[in-house]
């Protein structure tokens, strides 16, 4: 996983940072399209003034050494995040069989992330000018497939049905979405009561 995923994650992080810094510079100079702002009921002059007051972005030369540290931490964090949540989801769905514990989930996630690195490699095509918009939907579908591929790897390693593995990978997103929805509804109710 480290040999395959880490170099691609580093290239992705370097490229994304480069593009984000360029977008920040452009945003400070050119601001947002006035038609969009007027459609939202915002005065473009006010937005232009706020954006111009933002500090200049740091140079890429100052940031790249930090990215060499962040890339391995990001890969490790992604691997552990997926393993913990997917293992918990599989446990909640009754998919843990025999004496296969958390280490089995770590191995399944490592296998899945090794293959997901190919998705990152294909995702670099979106950086080619003119291809980003064309490839947006296919890359989104590939990302969804690779998400569910983790479920197949999890089910195969734990010896349970594939639907349990796939559902385990989606379960934490559903739980998180439900939690956010409940919090938004409670906030709206409290705002209504205070008004």
Using the predicted structure, report yes or no on whether residue 94 has a pLDDT greater than 80: yes
**Mean pLDDT of all residues in 32-42:** 67
What are residue 53's phi and psi, to 5 degrees?
Answer: -80, -10
pLDDT of residue 129: 83
Q: Who wins on pLDDT, 99 or 9?
A: 9
- Domain total for the chain? 1
pTM above 0.85, yes or no: no
% of the chain with per-residue pLDDT over 70:
93
Question: How confident is the model over 8-36, as a mean pLDDT?
Answer: 82
Query: Is residue 120 a contact partner of residue 78, using CB atoms and an 8 Å limit?
Result: no
For the cut 80, the answer to whether the pLDDT of residue 29 exceeds it is no
pLDDT at res. 108: 92
What's the pLDDT band for 32 if we cut at 50, 70, 90? low
pLDDT in tens, 62-82: 998 999 999 999 989 989 999
Q: Is 50 exposed, middle or buried (0-12, 13-18, 19+ CB in 10 A)?
A: exposed
**Of 163, 165, 67, 59, nearest to 112 (Cα)?**
165
Range of the domain at 137: 2-194
> Which residues have CB under 8 Å from 170's CB, separation 6+?
89, 147, 148, 151
- Residue 38: pLDDT band (50, 70, 90) is low
Question: For residue 134, what pLDDT is reported?
Answer: 85
Question: Which two three-digit tokens encode residue 161?
Answer: 């049905």
Residue 99 has pLDDT above 80, yes or no: no
Mean pLDDT to the nearest integer, 125-146: 85
Q: How far apart are CA 1 and CA 5, in angstroms?
A: 5
Determine contact, residues 135/126, Cβ cutoff 8 Å. Answer: yes
């Amino acid at each position: 996983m480290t040999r395959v995923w880490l170099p691609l994650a580093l290239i992705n992080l370097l490229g994304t940072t480069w593009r984000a810094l360029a977008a920040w510079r452009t945003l400070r100079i050119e601001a947002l399209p006035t038609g969009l702002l007027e459609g939202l009921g915002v005065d473009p002059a006010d937005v232009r003034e706020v954006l111009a007051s933002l500090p200049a972005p740091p140079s890429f030369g100052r940031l790249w050494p930090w990215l060499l540290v962040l890339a391995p931490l990001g890969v490790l964090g992604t691997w552990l995040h997926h393993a913990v949540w997917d293992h918990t989801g599989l446990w909640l769905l009754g998919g843990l069989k025999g004496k296969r514990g958390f280490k089995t989930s770590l191995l399944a996630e490592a296998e899945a992330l090794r293959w997901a690195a190919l998705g990152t490699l294909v995702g670099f095509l979106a950086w080619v000018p003119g291809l980003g918009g064309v490839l947006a939907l296919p890359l989104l579908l590939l990302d969804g497939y690779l998400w569910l591929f983790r479920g197949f790897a999890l089910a195969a390693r734990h010896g349970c049905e594939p639907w349990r593995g796939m559902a385990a990978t989606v379960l934490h997103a559903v739980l998180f979405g439900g939690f956010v929805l409940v919090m938004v509804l409670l906030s709206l109710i409290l705002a209504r009561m205070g008004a």
